[in-house]
Amino acid sequence: MPKTITIFMTLLLGGACLIWACGGSSEGDDDSTGGDSDTDSDSDSDSDSDGDSDSDSDSDSDSDSDSDSDSDSDSDSDSDSDTDTEIECVDAEYDIEIEPVVMMVVMDRSASMHKDENQMDGQYYDEVLQPALKGVIAETEKFIAYGLVVFPSKDCETSPTSYDETCYGPYELDNSDDYIEPKPNNSGEIDDALKINDVCGGTPTRKALRWTRDYLENDLPDDLKDRPKFVLLATDGAPNCNKDDDLLPCEGDECTNATDPCTVPHQCLDDDETYLEAEALFDDDVLVYVVGVGENLTGGPYATVMSTIADKGGTGDFYPADDEDSLNAAFDEIADLALDFTFDILWDQVPDQVDNLLVDKACDKVTVYGVKGPDDEDELYFDPDCSNETEDKPAWHWEGMTDEPDPDALDECTVVELCPIAQQKLKDGVWESVTARFNCDPIVID
């Protein structure tokens, strides 16, 4: 009650008391309990029976008719006249789902992968390639759904005498067992397949890429069809298995065999058709990464072939790997390029209320946490352009934004993206996952 009104009421009551003292009865009041001048049975001076000193019928000391202690007439605890509750930071939780990307490893198992003249750090190419693949898959299998297809088919003959026996592509025969279906956490199954992988035949790269394109388009599991897709081609030589008799005799760089000129077409370079398959994958939004295994592909004419396959596949250039370190580095970099550290926020799945408290759905009322374990979390900083992130201040931002978001533009802030240091913590296993909460102010890096 304003101070001036309080003084006026005090004077008014004081005057009434004087009038009563001058003209009233000297026998006391006429209620049954005595002591006050009203007609009810309580000890206060008003005429109701609630026991307080105000004139309403509730039990509190304010002058409204509700039972709370504020001055309005509603039933909530705030001082306005509506029936809602003040918006508070209620931590509406939202589980962020890690959705893996798809990576089909297309691996060369031609006879040249296990020749005495084709060694790397004292090991045959296939002996170095398998553990390198195993390592990168084990490190990133939570975020990348790896699949495997080998070429030529396991049905090729160890000592082939015909084109077909040399150049069977994946699944050209019904009894083939040439691929592992892509899925997350797949390192064990792929490792088992690599352990029993032998070598034979030629290098039908064109057929392998064609099979992979058909598989990704038609047979990929439903839960992966809408995810980003990549191909990792690892090979030690130029594509051959060309079936065009018109090429004969092919010689020089067009002959992929040690005996020059080539006298059978499947020994002739099959570059143009392979380029078309890489380009077709790229047209299907599938990026094709190429790793050239061994010294034969670090220079010379076939390095140009590898570069062109990568270029047609949308990745610019291939990764030459002539030792174990460069092979591991190539696989690590490709995996990093494929990793997706963005997470969708579906605002219609964020609750409107938590414990009867309203949730303020706004772009600037989101916090993101790295989950280390049960009841153990690190709160991430909000850094609009990731430029101020540090090791002790891992951060996130809204994808596609570099400034503070418009709080009400929910259609623009729909994807949380981790900044590089936060990405690395998730990749390294410092955090098991990430989660978000709504209606709280994030910590902003200045």
Q: Pick the residue with more confidence: 66 or 384?
A: 384
* pLDDT value, residue 282: 98
- pLDDT tier at 304 (50, 70, 90 boundaries)? very high
* pLDDT value, residue 52: 56
d(CA 66, CA 226): 56
Q: Is it the case that residue 339 has pLDDT exceeding 80?
A: yes
* pLDDT value, residue 290: 98
d(CA 290, CA 309): 7
Q: Identify the sign of the CA torsion 186, 187, 188, 189.
A: positive
Q: Pick the residue with more confidence: 10 or 344?
A: 344
- pLDDT tier at 440 (50, 70, 90 boundaries)? confident
d(CA 280, CA 23): 109
What one-letter code names the amino acid at 371? Answer: V
Asked if 134 contacts 333 with a C-beta cutoff of 8 angstroms, the reply is no
369 strand-pairing partners: 379, 435
Q: Is it the case that residue 13 has pLDDT exceeding 50?
A: no
379: its two tokens: 């709160």
For the stretch 131-174, pLDDT in tens is 999 999 999 999 999 999 999 887 776 666 667 778 888 877 66
Asked if 210 contacts 276 with a C-beta cutoff of 8 angstroms, the reply is no
51: its two tokens: 């026991």
Q: Is it the case that residue 401 has pLDDT exceeding 60?
A: yes
For the stretch 269-292, pLDDT in tens is 999 999 999 999 999 999 999 999
For the stretch 56-71, pLDDT in tens is 555 555 555 555 444 4
376: its two tokens: 């153990």
Q: Is it the case that residue 251 has pLDDT exceeding 50?
A: yes
Task: Give counts: helices (H), strands (E), the chain.
Answer: 9, 19
* pLDDT value, residue 205: 96
* pLDDT value, residue 264: 82
The lowest-confidence range among 24-38, 160-174, 323-337, 346-360 is: 24-38
Average pLDDT over residues 171-194: 84
48: its two tokens: 């109701």
- pLDDT tier at 105 (50, 70, 90 boundaries)? very high
- DSSP assignment of 361-397, as one string? --TTSEEEEEEEETTEEEEPEE-TTSSS-BTTB-EEE
For the chain, what is the mean pLDDT? 80
- pLDDT tier at 220 (50, 70, 90 boundaries)? very high
* pLDDT value, residue 257: 80
* pLDDT value, residue 3: 35
In degrees to the nearest 10, what's the CA dihedral of 399, 402, 403, 405? -10
The lowest-confidence range among 36-40, 234-238, 376-380 is: 36-40
pTM for the structure as a whole? 0.74
Q: Is it the case that residue 48 has pLDDT exceeding 60?
A: no
Within 177-281, strands assigned E span 179-183, 229-235
